[in-house]
Chain A
Amino acid sequence: GAVVSQHPSWVICKSGTSVKIECRSLDFQATTMFWYRQFPKQSLMLMATSNEGSKATYEQGVEKDKFLINHASLTLSTLTVTSAHPEDSSFYICSARSGTAYNEQFFGPGTRLTVL
């Protein structure tokens, strides 16, 4: 199957700093990318959907000014957690959908964010 990578796999930062997480589709063009957040022992929660070249669509309750999403190319999307606080500590997972195999959705390995 298609491969989605994330970088970094884990990050520790101080409260108040911003953190950028990259999501790449390695062997296909991703017309749509999704960002999820997962707290310990909970399910994945969809944060936002982004289409290449367009603004992201955020799910209800997700602060768009807090979680900046950029999908500037067909193989790269970034999530920036601005002014991170300890409550933002979570497992962030991206997912990508191919423009050709339209019904398939591929998931990245996740990024563990810890805010001190």
Chain B
Amino acid sequence: DAKTTQPPSMDCAEGRAANLPCNHSTISGNEYVYWYRQIHSQGPQYIIHGLKNNETNEMASLIITEDRKSSTLILPHATLRDTAVYYCIVRIDTGGFKTIFGAGTRLFVKA
């Protein structure tokens, strides 16, 4: 699986949009971009995933650049409960895939 690069930490004011970047310059054509988050002492939670088109769901939006070498996870109105470690992962979606976690970005949402 391709490696990803994320900033180690970010701050965001409550109510503002949180934009979390991820670089995945070696992504292959059949690899998807997945985002998970982990709130302290809990298991990871799926947020969103995409291949090349931008995606949106009730939790977040995912913007993938045209060359697919980077992406941005957007939490439109961050709340204190969004404070967590956010993991950007690239992986295939078929066969014997494994989800390998990098270091992630620790997002602090401040009041």
Contact = CB atoms under 8 A, between A and B. Distances in A.
B99 A95 contact: yes
Contacts of A43: 85, 87, 101-104
Interface string A10-34: 0000000000000000000000101
B100 interface: yes
B43 A93 contact: yes
A72 to B, nearest CB: 20
Given A43-B103, A45-B101, A91-B41, 19 more contacts: A4-B43, A34-B99, A36-B101, A43-B85, A43-B101, A43-B104, A44-B38, A44-B101, A46-B100, A46-B101, A49-B98, A93-B43, A95-B44, A102-B93, A102-B94, A103-B94, A103-B97, A106-B46, A107-B44
B46 A34 contact: no
A105 B104 CA distance: 18
Interface of B: 32, 36, 38, 41-46, 85, 87, 93-94, 96-104
Given A34-B98, A102-B94, A108 B43 contact: yes
Interface string A36-50: 100000011110010
Interface in A60-116: 91, 93, 95, 102-110, 112
Given A43-B87, A43-B104, A105 B43 contact: no
16 contacts: A1-B46, A36-B101, A43-B102, A44-B38, A46-B99, A46-B100, A46-B101, A93-B43, A93-B44, A95-B43, A95-B99, A107-B36, A107-B43, A107-B44, A109-B43, A110-B41
Closest 9 CB pairs of A and B: A107-B43, A103-B93, A44-B101, A107-B44, A43-B101, A109-B43, A110-B43, A93-B43, A108-B43
Given A43-B103, A43-B104, A107 B45 contact: yes
Contacts of B87: 43
Contacts of A106: 46
A44 B93 contact: no
A102 B85 CA distance: 25
